[in-house]
A and B are shown apart, each in its own frame.
Chain A
């Protein structure tokens, strides 16, 4: 019981840190993306079967992936601008939503696969 509370606390900290870091180390847009992701995930995935700890854990993992994803591409964009000029930044702006959709959708798909096992478990019980 205590372990699960500790885990939950740890995951919440990871979520908060990911959001703050995205603002500090990437940009405001990435923070908005993470907030949208959290809203979607909390509203939907938390209604599915499974332990709360597992869902918060998934959410924390999603936030971490989102932050790293945005950080890597942001760094890549910076390098691109330095090498290829400001036009690269416009290209990056254009593909940015697609890049984010990529990790959000994939992570959502995999999360559902994971949470489905809880559903089966509950059905069997």
Chain B
């Protein structure tokens, strides 16, 4: 009886992973077909539409990178009279505020809001809401302080809002400090899988395009309608993604609107960042799962994709669980495991690909014309293994918080070293 139950559970977990593998396979094929046709979703080309734009930059102790971003913003090709830049100095203890203030003096469209210790450091969502309250633009774009956008990124992103059904837009994140070490290289692979293939496929297939929290923006009226960012959720970007879709709007992805980020460069920073993402994503799962399944604004394929997207940070745990169940089944002599029929696709998806399977990352690299980087793909197995304890801890913490009724979370900020500066050539 126990064996049968374990087998049934094992089959269920396996089926789940096979579904994910098929999903990513469809994504990869879709992007390849798109590339072959040479008609990307970036056909949302700059339309001549020039709305007023507010750019929000939350910054807490970002002295090493904030100047780089502000300097690049002063070089933006977008008409400055239609631009409002709001730096939210979130109670920084370093020179972030002073550096931003120096730009405010020379460029009148740059504003700096200083939050003191009494109301600052409550997380990114809180800082964004603080800045958003002062935003006057029709479109609100967000950039993290460690990002380095293209000069014409505002035109590229705001062009998507020609369609009145579009509530938000997302641009592409590219790792700036990729050659720094093995961590940054592996993060770059994950980003390529996510942004070069996943996001573009979701956009072209009419699924749930995810707003990534930065390098993107919203129609300000919709953001007001939704009462801004939810400060009780750690993954405020994923939360907003679903709130936008549930309100009946779409998010478009612009693969050609590139922005360069300084990726985490140590396993510790990686762990902290992924823990925050995993926990936030799991919060969103519990918050939105029912709404997604019952929404009248989402069609069946959006509901299915939404469900899979919300579930994504459970995948390392599910793969691990299937191993745990598989192990006793082997020793109990289960014929199911002996056949290995099911563990093959599971291992293909999970053990190498983590959140994006190996073939997806490979195609992303190929489309990006990357040389030899493909050779690092087998190493993604380490990030997968590393994500198991991270996601497990996140799940335990979310469940404990739910049981104890705690709804406030501590925001552990990713620190930026400015090491990416040396890779900027223009």
Contacts and interface: CB of A to CB of B under 8 A. Distances in A.
Interface of A: 28-29, 32-33, 36, 40, 43-44, 47-48, 90, 93-94, 96-98, 100-102, 104-106, 108-110, 112-113, 115-116, 119-120
26 contacts: A29-B341, A40-B348, A43-B25, A44-B25, A47-B32, A48-B32, A48-B366, A90-B330, A93-B330, A94-B327, A94-B330, A97-B344, A97-B346, A98-B351, A101-B351, A101-B381, A105-B352, A105-B358, A108-B359, A108-B362, A109-B358, A110-B375, A112-B366, A112-B374, A115-B366, A116-B366
A116 B29 CA distance: 17
Nearest to A117: B371
A28 B339 contact: yes
B223 interface: no
Contacts of A108: 358-359, 362, 374, 377
Contact of A113 (B32, B343, B358, B375): B375
B365 interface: yes
Contacts of A28: 339
Contacts of A100: 344, 347
Nearest to A113: B374
A102 B378 contact: yes
Which 3 pairs show the lowest CB-CB distances between chains A and B? Answer: A97-B347, A109-B374, A29-B340
A118 B375 CA distance: 18
Given A47-B36, A97-B346, A116-B369, A40 B25 contact: yes
Nearest to A27: B340
A29 B33 CA distance: 32
A40 B359 contact: yes
A105 B330 CA distance: 25
Contacts of B370: 116
Contacts of B66: none
Contacts of B346: 97
A113 B366 CA distance: 8
B377 to A, nearest CB: 5
B345 interface: yes
B28 interface: yes
B174 to A, nearest CB: 18
B290 interface: no
A105 to B, nearest CB: 5
Contacts of A119: 366, 369
A44 B358 contact: no
Given A48-B32, A48-B366, A90-B330, 8 more contacts: A32-B344, A43-B29, A94-B327, A101-B381, A109-B375, A113-B374, A113-B375, A119-B366
Contact of A104 (B29, B32, B348): B348
B96 to A, nearest CB: 41
- Interface size bracket, B side: 35 or more
Contacts of A115: 366
Given A119-B366, A120-B369, A105 B344 contact: no
Contacts of B337: 93
B362 A109 contact: yes
Given A36-B344, A119-B366, A109 B32 contact: no
B210 to A, nearest CB: 23
Contacts of A94: 326-327, 330
Contact of B340 (A32, A44, A101, A102): A32
B345 A44 contact: no
Contact of B344 (A33, A109, A113): A33
A108 B28 CA distance: 14
A112 B368 CA distance: 12
B28 A44 contact: yes
- Pick from A29, A96, A97, A113 the residue with the most CB of B within 10 Å: A97
A48 B366 CA distance: 9
A108 B365 CA distance: 12
Interface string B315-351: 0000000000011001100000111110111111001
A29 B378 CA distance: 22
A125 to B, nearest CB: 15
B372 interface: yes
A116 B362 CA distance: 11
A109 B373 CA distance: 9
A30 to B, nearest CB: 9
A47 B366 CA distance: 12
A49 to B, nearest CB: 9
B29 A90 contact: no
A33 B377 CA distance: 19
A16 to B, nearest CB: 20
B352 A96 contact: no
B204 to A, nearest CB: 15
A36 B371 contact: no
Nearest to A33: B344
A104 B378 CA distance: 9
Contacts of B369: 116, 119-120
Contacts of B352: 101, 105
B363 interface: yes
